[in-house]
């Protein structure tokens, strides 16, 4: 038979254990509950807002996103004009039929706003990092070191560069919330 003292200790330890488990569960339960003013978009790490205030034409901004690094490039007026007059016979996929981008970005700029180019800075075959280069005076483009592919200012690959199964650079899903506010999205709309 167990003594009353031993029984008292068993009950006390069990109660302390239950109280401890209850206290340990509070942060977990709280993290599962959403605040009243928090939307599902606020809780989703894929929704990343980017302030473009101060990004001058010709400047590049790097943004951390769960899908990888994203670049936002502010095009110059000269670059926007060059994209309007681009010679499609020099490009492998000038109309971006085999490229990944939001539907609204199927245009000569491959962007939602001509003045901003939003791009994943990796080529399509092996994911090699791209770098910005000057294609001609005042007009930037991109290149990558793995296959030597070159891309115009809209991320379209030139015919005479890279390997046959490379595609245009990917444009991540995004939207503009205002003139200087960009939001990266979890999937293409």
Q: Which burial class, exposed, middle or buried, applies to 149 when counting CB atoms under 10 A from its CB (0-12, 13-18, 19+)? A: buried
Q: 158: which 2 tokens?
A: 């030139």
Whether the pTM exceeds 0.85: the reply is no
Encode the chain (189 residues) as per-residue pLDDT tens digits.
568 888 888 889 888 888 888 888 877 776 666 555 555 555 677 788 999 999 999 999 999 988 789 999 999 999 888 888 767 778 888 778 788 888 888 888 889 999 999 999 988 878 889 998 888 787 888 988 888 888 888 888 888 887 888 888 989 999 999 989 999 888 654
CA dist 22 → 8, 14, 18, 29 (Å) = 21, 12, 6, 10
List the one residue out of 164, 182, 185, 183 whose CA is nearest residue 173.
Answer: 185
Longest CA span, the chain: 96
The region, left, alpha or beta by phi > 0 then psi within -120 to 50, assigned to residue 107 is beta
Please tell me the distance from the alpha carbon of residue 62 to that of residue 39, in angstroms, as a whole number.
Answer: 26
Dihedral angle over CA of 10, 16, 22, 24, nearest 10: -120
Q: 133: which 2 tokens?
A: 């280069």
Residues 6 or more apart whose CB falls under 8 angstroms from that of 50 comprise: 61, 63, 72, 181, 182, 183, 184
């Amino acid at each position: 038979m167990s003594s009353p003292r031993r029984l008292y200790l068993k009950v006390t330890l069990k109660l302390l254990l239950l109280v401890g488990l209850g206290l340990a569960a509070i942060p977990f339960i709280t993290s599962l509950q959403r605040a009243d003013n928090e939307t599902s978009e606020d809780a989703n790490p894929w929704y990343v807002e980017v302030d473009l205030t101060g990004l001058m034409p010709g400047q590049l901004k790097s943004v951390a996103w769960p899908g990888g690094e994203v670049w936002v490039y502010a095009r110059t007026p000269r670059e926007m004009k060059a994209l309007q007059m681009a010679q499609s016979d020099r490009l492998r996929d000038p109309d971006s039929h085999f490229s990944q981008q939001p539907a609204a970005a199927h245009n000569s700029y491959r962007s939602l706003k001509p003045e901003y180019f939003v791009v994943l800075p990796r080529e399509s075959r092996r994911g090699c990092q791209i770098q910005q280069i000057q294609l001609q005076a005042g007009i930037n483009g991109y290149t990558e070191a793995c296959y030597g592919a070159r891309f115009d200012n809209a991320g379209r690959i030139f015919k005479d560069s890279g390997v046959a199964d490379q595609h245009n650079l990917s444009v991540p899903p995004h939207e503009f919330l205002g003139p200087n506010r960009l939001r990266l999205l979890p999937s293409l709309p």
